[in-house]
Chain A
Amino acid sequence: MNINDVIRGPLITEKLDKAREKFRQYSFIVDRKATKHDVARAVTALFKVTVEGVRTNIVRGKTKRVGRSIGQRPNFKKAVVTLKEGDKIELFEGGAV
C-alpha cells in the first residue's frame, strides 16, 4: 500500500493525550485496509521517527438518531503507534487540527 494513502489523520482525545504523555503512543485514523506494517512504514517515513510497536482496532461508528430517522456513523480503523523513547511528533502538540 502506498504510504501516502495509509494515514487519514491524527486522533486526539483526552484519553489518547494521556497515553501519548505516558507511553509515547501516538494515534491515527488509518485506512481500513492498512496493515500494522503499513502504518509503521508510513509513520517512519512521514515523521522521521522510529516505531516500536503498532496496535490497531476497528472503531465502530455510533448509531445516532435524529427524531425518527436512524443513522450510523462510519466505522474507522484506529492505529496506536508506540515510538522509541525520545522521539515525538510535533503535529500532536497543539491538539486536533
Chain B
Amino acid sequence: MKVQVEELSPIEKKLSIEVDTARVAEELTRAYTALGRQVKLPGFRPGKVPRRILEQRFREQVEDDVIQRVVQTSYLEAVRAHKVEAVSSPQVTNSGLKPDAPFAYEARVEVKPKVEAKEYDALPLAKVDTAVSDAQVDEQLERMRQSQGRVEAVTDRDVAAAGDQVTIDFEATVDGNAFEGSKAEGIGVQVRPGELIQGSIEALAGVKVGESKDIDYTFPADYQAEEVRGKSARFHITVKALQKMVLPALDDAFAQGTGMAQTAEELRTKLRADMEKARKAQAQQDEREALIKVLIERNAFEVPRAMVERAIDSMLDGALRQMARQGIDPRRLNLDFNRLRDEMREKAVQEVKGTLLFEAVAQKESIQSTDADVEKRIEELAAEANQPVAQVKKYFKGEDERLGLSLRLREEKTIEFLKGRAKYS
C-alpha cells in the first residue's frame, strides 16, 4: 500500500492511496466465493457456480462492494500510519477497479488543525465579583416568602391601601361611548404602581369599600383591542372588597416549610452558600468565555466544519436533554432544527476554537491531569450527586468517559493557569 498525504489547507488533507494488486485480487476472490455460496442459478448447485459466470453477471455489484471494503480498511490503516487526525468522514473519489492492477483512490478529509498558542501571557480579564451581599440574600428570602403568601380578607379597615388586592366593578368609556370589554364585575386588581391593563391600579389607595373613583387611562399604542389603541378612556371603578396578601413570617417554621433548613438562621446561611456557588459557577463560565474570546483574537485559525457541526450536535443534545428533564417534550415544540443550528453555529465555532486553544496551551506548558486528579474529581462528583463513590467510579470506568473527564480536568487546570497569568482590570 502506497500513501501520499497532501495538505490542502490547515484543516484539510488529501490522501492518495494505492492498494496493491495482490490485495485487491484477494478481496475479489473472497467476495466472489462469498457470493457464489449465496447465489442460486438454474443448472448449478449452490456454491458451484463458476467464477467466470459470476463475474459476467455480478461484476458491478461485487466491485462496488470490494471498493468499499478496500477503501474502508486501507483508509483506516493510512490514517493510523500517517497520524492524520481526521475529524470528518472522508470524501472518496476513485477511478474504478481494474483486475490485475493496483487500485488507486483519493480521500479528502478534514483534520484537526495544528494550533500553536501564542501570546497567552497577561491576558486582559475583567475581575468578576462573586460576593453575595446581605441585601441579595434578603431579596431571595423575600421572593420565597412571596411565593408562599396567602390571600386573606381585610377585616380591620375598609379603606384600600397600597399592597392590597381589591375586588372591583368597573365601567369604562372612550369619548363617552362604551366599547367591547368596557364593563366588568368582580375583577381582582392590585393596588400598586403599574399598568391598569395588567391589573395594577395605584390610584385605588384610599378608596373606601362601596365607594367609586374615576380614573383616566390611555391605552398603549400596541394594545390588543384595535378599537381603543392609543385612546384615552375614563374608568369608573367601584371598590367591592379588600383582600391582603399575608406573607409567612421569616421564622423556623418557614425554614422547615422550605425543606432546606431547620432554623431561619440556617436557611439564611444555606441560601447564601447556594447563591455564592451559583455566582461562582457563572463567573467561571464567564471567565472561560472571556478567555476564549481574547485567545481567539490573538490566535487566528480556521476550524473544520465537521468539528463545528459536532459541537452543535452536542449543544443541541444538551439542550434537548435539559428540556426532557424539565418535562418538556421537544417534539411537541415544533422546533426548526435547521434554524436552531444556524443560531448555535457562532457559539459552536467559538467553543471548538476555545477547546483547541486550551489544548495547545496545555501542550506547550505541559499541563496534565493526573490519575489522582481524576480520582479526586470522581469523589467530588459523587458527593455532589449524593451517590456512592463506587457507583460514580463505575460510570467512569469506560475508556471514553474517563478520557473525557481527564480532558475536562486538564482544561480546567489550563484555565487556572491562564487566569494566574492574566492581567485583571
Contacts and interface: CB of A to CB of B under 8 A. Distances in A.
Given A14-B44, A14-B45, A16-B43, A94 B56 contact: yes
Contact of B44 (A11, A13, A94): A13
Interface string B40-68: 01111100111011001100000000000
A12 B56 CA distance: 14
Interface in A52-95: 93-95
A95 B51 CA distance: 11
Nearest to B48: A14
Given A14-B48, A17-B50, A94 B57 contact: yes
A95 B44 CA distance: 9
B53 to A, nearest CB: 4
A13 B41 CA distance: 9
Contacts of A94: 53, 56-57
Contacts, number: 30
Interface of B: 41-45, 48-50, 52-53, 56-57
Interface residues of A, number: 10
Per DSSP, are chain B's interface residues mostly helix, strand or loop, or mixed?
A: loop
Interface string A1-26: 00000000001111011000000000
A13 B42 CA distance: 7
A95 B56 CA distance: 8
A84 to B, nearest CB: 21
Contacts of B48: 14
A13 B43 contact: yes
Contacts of A14: 43-45, 48
Given A14-B44, A95-B56, 18 more contacts: A12-B42, A12-B43, A13-B43, A13-B44, A14-B43, A14-B48, A16-B43, A17-B44, A17-B50, A17-B53, A93-B52, A93-B56, A94-B57, A95-B41, A95-B53, A95-B57, A96-B41, A96-B42
Contacts of A96: 41-43
A12 B45 CA distance: 12
Contacts of A12: 42-43
A95 to B, nearest CB: 4
Contacts of A95: 41, 43-44, 49, 53, 56-57
A94 B50 CA distance: 10
20 contacts: A11-B43, A12-B43, A13-B43, A14-B43, A14-B44, A16-B43, A17-B43, A17-B44, A17-B50, A17-B53, A93-B53, A93-B56, A94-B53, A94-B56, A95-B43, A95-B49, A95-B53, A95-B57, A96-B42, A96-B43
